[in-house]
């Protein structure tokens, strides 16, 4: 005759929330806190956080590259794209293969959506 097994009335499907204690009696550690917001290595570079990087003289991607298909009329969408990018380096670098992106050693600049002297954006 098989051994009698009590039904598992309070199985895991009935548990709600984290356990109060583990099987060995210890209290589980709390959930980790969310990661800190991204930050730059120094306050002067904070404007680069969460923006798209353009590689200037290394890859020939400049601020005007993001608006190259513009009709010349003011465009809120292109303004947003432009102002969410930055340029690094802003100067020509001696050895592009070893340039340390994120250091701004070759200069960094925010891209600005502005009207040209011709009236075009």
Over the stretch 12-41, which tens digit does the pLDDT of each residue have? 555 555 555 556 666 656 666 666 556 666
* Cα gap 66→90, rounded to integer Å: 16
Model pTM? 0.61
Classified as helix, coil or strand, 97 is helix
| pLDDT of 64 above 80 | yes
* Cα gap 22→34, rounded to integer Å: 24
User: What separation in angstroms does the CA of 66 have from each of 79, 92, 114?
Assistant: 10, 20, 13
* Token code pair at residue 24: 């060995």
């Amino acid at each position: 005759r098989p051994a009698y097994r009590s039904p598992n009335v309070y199985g895991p499907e009935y548990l709600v929330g984290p356990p109060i204690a583990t099987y060995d009696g210890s209290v589980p550690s709390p959930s980790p806190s969310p990661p800190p917001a991204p930050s730059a290595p120094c306050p002067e570079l904070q404007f680069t956080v969460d923006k798209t990087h353009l590689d200037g003289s290394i890859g020939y991607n400049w601020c005007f590259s993001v608006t190259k298909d513009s009709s010349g009329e003011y465009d809120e969408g292109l303004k947003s794209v432009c102002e969410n990018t930055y340029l690094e380096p802003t100067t020509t670098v001696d050895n592009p293969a070893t340039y340390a992106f994120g250091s701004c050693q070759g200069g960094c600049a925010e891209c600005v959506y502005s009207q040209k002297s011709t009236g075009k954006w």
